[in-house]
Structure 1
Amino acid sequence: MQDLLTVFPVIFTIAVALLLRRTLVALGLGIICASVILNWGSPVATFSYIVDNAISQIYQPDNWQMWHINVLAAMLLLGILTAILSRSGAIGAFADWQFSRISSQRQARFAVILVGWIVFIDGIFSCLANGNISRPLSERFGIPPGELAYLVDSTASPLTSMVPFSSWGPYVIALIAGINWLNVDPAHAFIEVASYNFYAIATLLMVMVVATTNLGFKPSTPTVIQSPAHTPVGSPWMLGLPILTLLLGSLVLMLVSGARNADELTIAAMFSHADIGAAMRDSCVIAVIVATLMSLNAGQSLQQTLGAAALGIKTMLPAITIIMFTWIIGRAIGDLNAGKIMAGYAADLLSPVVLLPGMFVLCTFIAFSTGSSWGTFAIMIPIGADIAHAIQPEFVLAAISAVMAGSVFGDHCSPISDTTVLAATASGCEPNHHVMTQLPLALLTAFMALCCFTAIGLGISLIVVLAGLIVAMIAIAAITLQRRQ
């Protein structure tokens, strides 16, 4: 009975998330539920515990929680950067520059992928920016709206979930940092987790296959569009320079901070001793300054730019609230020892072979039902890590990867996911049509990811698994091209 009471907040939180499809409400009610159990129903003690728990995420006696502070700052700054780039005309300028350099449908499909790789900083921003940039191009070269939506959607969340410098990076790194017993630097853990994110990797490979072979979509006739007398030249730099600043700034600042702390000045030593959080925060500041200056130079007023910045902050506040609630419920569940108890039961019922594919399937169901990969991360990453630690400790990071992969897949295919809807609407496609045309390719990709996780559970090395995945994709492309001839 005591064990059931201890794990009840976890079960309750997942149930509310599935029923209401409101992650924030589920986390909030889960916090209250766990706090009430911890304090034996005392209202005063429960309220005091929640307040103390929340404050401790930012400040503990004589110790500011700089990792948490840097993560929150980086998320806000990325929201500001995204909004400024959207408002400044950077997207339109890039579209004009790109339009004059494409001459075939296949090139146009690869151009859509390239834009997705350039605007990787946020999943929602990627869907909106890429859809609006690539839509005129797709109309000119006869790419169906459903195919454009697939290319846009499949280079958004799958890529963003693997990049530490995206808006997802700090969020997931913060969740990993909340696993107190994990003796790995959170940023380095994120990089290893990304290397096992087989759904994201397979999706990015499948996008290349689709661009090359048009797999899953009927060939169509390009629309004849008469070129205007004066074709806008456009420029890639309004969009590219701030993002390039973000990337290079992060790398340079990490190396500089690592050089201060490392015993030897090697790349590996500097990265292992780097202050990742501060580097992300400061590079975001520099990128925002660059984007602001370029926005002002492009004719935007200071008031318009500040308005965009305010909108960016407002847009990011729900994610900030979710991550705060995640930290709070994480400590409450930890104080209850719920993760350890669930891990103990899982260790008795599960084998190492089914651990990773089981995590993948479970998180697929949760994310598909809720339409939220971030909400699934928040609930399942700490629990998945505890279960893996009890069953097969060396699979902890791979289990986190399975959680992320299943969450991204579920979110990718969910008709109530924000990225699904935005990718469709920005591409000129009905959301339901996008879901139905994307689903066969996504299911094929997910099956391949499931096979990869099963192979890891059987003890096959990561390099062999990734090589097998690449060979399978090449085979699919070759067979498709042969049938099209």
Structure 2
Amino acid sequence: MHVKNYNKLALLVVIFGLFSAVYVSQYVPKTWLEQSLVYEVYQTNDGDNAYIYRGKEVIIEDVVPYQESALNQATLNNVNEPALSQQWVIDEQGTIKQLKPAFHFGVWSLLPALITVSLCLITKEPLSALFTGIVTGALMLGEYDITDSVIIPQLAKEGSAALLLLYLWLLGGLLGVWAKTGAAQAFADMMTRRFVRGQRSAKLVSWCLGVLFFQGGTMSTVLVGTTVRPLADRAKVSHEEMSYIVDSTASPIAAVLAFNAWPAYVQALIFVPGVAFLATEADRLDFFFSSIPFSFYGILAVIGTLLLSLNITTFSGRRIREAHHRANTTGQLDAPNAQPLSAKELQSRVVPEGYHSHHFEFIFPLITLIGIAVFTFILLGSPKVNWAFGAALMLAVGIALAKGMSLKNVMDGLNLGLKSVVFASVILMMAVIIGFISKEIGGGLYLVSLLGEQLPYWALPITLQLMTMVIAFSTGTSWGTYAIAFPLAMPLAWAIGEHQMLANPEIYMMICFATVLNGSIYGDQCSPISDTTILSAMTTGCDLMDHVKSQIVPASFAAATAALLWTLCVIGFAA
């Protein structure tokens, strides 16, 4: 299609999105739904009910009977706007839980995600697509002051500020110092001499690091991508292949080697009243680990990247095969007209004259980074990524100064690194904001609410998989999808198992649990508005949409195979 036709189509999408958003805001009523959160509640020495949140004790006050709550579903069905934003209740079984109201606009709740993804695919320009999606969602919520009411409050949140600190200042600064000192190139040269003999060994090193950093999410993506980029470029591995390997060994491996923060987060979302094997936190953690053999998508995704690392491209799709052939025959790591999410300055030699680079200038900060992340995870239960990157940056700067580099040259390196990641960081912030908006207007809630107890038991797992794939793809977050889907999907799975009298309801619940867990990972991994997708492209130097389009084929093949296996397991083991 001609460029002008693409522009016209994009303009029509924008106009449709904006006018539809105003229509929804004015004329489409909200559908309110009850959301319940169950914590590990205990009694203090003073007799108060309390729970632990982020390592701190929180006292629960004003608990009311569930039937009298202003936020139970029966009450929400008869109000236009809830009277409260949250309330603690106690149900007939004596379980204390927190109720929160949430709403959706029906099928219209999918509009911002649909507009954003459509524009990404049409224009291959993610920033304008994300901004249009944000404006569309804000108008649906009745927010017309986009900057002061939507963007600035989201950027001011602790999580957003932490992302800016990490990915703009610390990561950018570290990459810039490594470029200025030549440390990254010296590391690549050393690895090439001793370990990497070509494309296959470079990709295998990348795969092994992805498996080693099984914490998942952005931390794994940044660590692996930053480490392997120099040696992969030296071995002439295409950026599409590298970004796929980095992305597909981040969250998928975290669901399989789940010795990380995932089980602790997820277990709080899967309590089902009356289900003995989900009664306590220990029971739910045991349930999580028992379900790991059913994490077929995570297992297949990791195996798929291993096959690609061995240059077996049978299941990789046409785009990755073409990228592999292009890098082999022409040495071009990016497709023609690609717009990589990294500055070309980082690829050129900017080492001051007379400064002698050494690979230990890369290795020492990297070991420091990994060591602090791992030890803080062991000691505190959560990896302090900002501490890790901050210490690595300070060590890299200290080594450069100690070896005689002038302060001016070090600051030039920092400046170079910051400039190299500004564009990607802006995209990352826009992705965070549209993820919040998509969750706020209830797209995920709408999709899950379409399910019912009359669904055949064998169809529920694949239905949950498809639902969570769409939710995570639309919002760009797997953990956000878990918060939406698990509290609704797990009681539904139990109700269907009981209603249709399955012989092994616990196995059935494990399979349904695995479909939600893995479907969310797929959607997050393939979404152009996901932070891990953007960071995979950014750290490996790939064009964002080239990464998305090349990755979606092998990921979809793994997801389809997983769906077949889940269906067969339900029929074979649960019925």
Pick from 289, 304, 315: which aligns with 1:206? 304
Pick from 255, 280, 285: which aligns with 2:381? 280
Match of 1:9 in 2: 32
Pick from 102, 105, 121: which aligns with 2:215? 121
Amino acid across the alignment from 1:412: Q
State the identity %: 25
Match of 2:464 in 1: 359
Pick from 353, 358, 361: which aligns with 1:232? 358
Pair 1:124–1:397, CA change in 2 (3 A)? same
The question of whether the paired residues in 2 share the 8 Å contact of 1:9 and 1:33 is answered with no
The question of whether the paired residues in 2 share the 8 Å contact of 1:36 and 1:42 is answered with no
Amino acid across the alignment from 1:233: H
Pick from 525, 530, 549: which aligns with 1:412? 525
> Which segment is superposed worse, 452-461 or 227-236?
227-236
TM-score (norm 1): 0.59
Match of 2:455 in 1: 349
Deviation of 1:84 after TM superposition, in Å, equals 9.7
The 5 A counterparts of 1:47-58 are: 47=83, 49-53=84-88
Match of 2:567 in 1: 454
Tell me the secondary structure at the aligned position of residue 359 of structure 2.
Answer: coil
The 5 A counterparts of 1:304-453 are: 346-351=452-457, 353-392=458-497, 393-394=505-506, 395-453=508-566
Distance in 2 (alpha carbons) for counterparts of 1:160 and 1:83: 25
Q: Deviations over 1:66-112 (max 9, x none)?
A: xxxxxxx99x9999999997478499568854651222211100122
Q: Deviations over 1:227-267 (max 9, x none)?
A: 9995522254543456456657767x7xxxxxxxxxxxxxx
Distance in 2 (alpha carbons) for counterparts of 1:420 and 1:161: 17
Distance in 1 (alpha carbons) for counterparts of 2:464 and 2:189: 43
Pair 1:361–1:41, CA change in 2 (3 A)? closer
Matched, 1:196 2:297: no
The question of whether the paired residues in 2 share the 8 Å contact of 1:165 and 1:280 is answered with no
Match of 1:37 in 2: 75
Deviation of 1:142 after TM superposition, in Å, equals 1.6
Deviation of 1:37 after TM superposition, in Å, equals 3.3
Q: Which has the higher contact order (CA 8 A, sep 6+)?
A: 1
The question of whether the paired residues in 2 share the 8 Å contact of 1:242 and 1:288 is answered with no
Q: Deviations over 1:118-169 (max 9, x none)?
A: 4443422333343333233222212111111111111122123445454545
Matched, 1:157 2:251: yes
The question of whether the paired residues in 1 share the 8 Å contact of 2:33 and 2:73 is answered with no
Deviation of 1:407 after TM superposition, in Å, equals 1.3
Match of 2:23 in 1: none
> Which segment is superposed worse, 137-146 or 92-101?
92-101
Tell me the secondary structure at the aligned position of residue 535 of structure 2.
Answer: helix
Pick from 112, 120, 125: which aligns with 2:206? 112
The question of whether the paired residues in 2 share the 8 Å contact of 1:120 and 1:126 is answered with yes
User: By percentage of residues, which structure has more helix?
Assistant: 1
> Which segment is superposed worse, 402-411 or 170-179?
170-179
Pair 1:151–1:382, CA change in 2 (3 A)? same
Deviation of 1:408 after TM superposition, in Å, equals 1.2
Tell me the secondary structure at the aligned position of residue 510 of structure 2.
Answer: helix
Tell me the secondary structure at the aligned position of residue 459 of structure 1.
Answer: helix
Amino acid across the alignment from 1:140: R
Tell me the secondary structure at the aligned position of residue 160 of structure 1.
Answer: helix
The question of whether the paired residues in 1 share the 8 Å contact of 2:368 and 2:392 is answered with no
**Unaligned stretches of 5+ residues in structure 2:** 1-29, 36-69, 90-94, 97-157, 333-346, 402-410, 412-427, 498-504
Distance in 2 (alpha carbons) for counterparts of 1:164 and 1:411: 18
Matched, 1:171 2:304: no
Match of 1:100 in 2: 190
Amino acid across the alignment from 2:470: F
Aligned positions, number:
369
Amino acid across the alignment from 2:242: L
Pair 1:377–1:106, CA change in 2 (3 A)? same
Amino acid across the alignment from 2:455: L
**Unaligned stretches of 5+ residues in structure 1:** 1-6, 13-31, 55-59, 62-72, 254-278, 305-314, 462-485
The question of whether the paired residues in 2 share the 8 Å contact of 1:371 and 1:415 is answered with yes
Tell me the secondary structure at the aligned position of residue 270 of structure 2.
Answer: helix
Deviation of 1:380 after TM superposition, in Å, equals 0.9
Pair 1:298–1:114, CA change in 2 (3 A)? same
Q: Deviations over 1:8-31 (max 9, x none)?
A: 53499xxxxxxxxxxxxxxxxxxx
Distance in 1 (alpha carbons) for counterparts of 2:167 and 2:221: 12
Match of 1:271 in 2: none
Distance in 2 (alpha carbons) for counterparts of 1:122 and 1:212: 23
Q: Deviations over 1:27-69 (max 9, x none)?
A: xxxxx986893495497xx44x435449xxxxx99xxxxxxxx
Tell me the secondary structure at the aligned position of residue 142 of structure 1.
Answer: coil
Match of 1:307 in 2: none
Amino acid across the alignment from 1:448: T
TM-score (norm 2): 0.51
The question of whether the paired residues in 1 share the 8 Å contact of 2:373 and 2:388 is answered with no
Amino acid across the alignment from 2:542: C
User: By percentage of residues, which structure has more strand?
Assistant: 2
Pair 1:382–1:294, CA change in 2 (3 A)? same
The question of whether the paired residues in 2 share the 8 Å contact of 1:355 and 1:457 is answered with no
Pair 1:38–1:163, CA change in 2 (3 A)? farther
The question of whether the paired residues in 2 share the 8 Å contact of 1:162 and 1:169 is answered with no
Tell me the secondary structure at the aligned position of residue 9 of structure 1.
Answer: strand
Distance in 1 (alpha carbons) for counterparts of 2:261 and 2:330: 36
Deviation of 1:429 after TM superposition, in Å, equals 2.1
Deviation of 1:423 after TM superposition, in Å, equals 1.7
Distance in 2 (alpha carbons) for counterparts of 1:81 and 1:159: 23
Distance in 1 (alpha carbons) for counterparts of 2:286 and 2:169: 30
Distance in 2 (alpha carbons) for counterparts of 1:39 and 1:398: 32
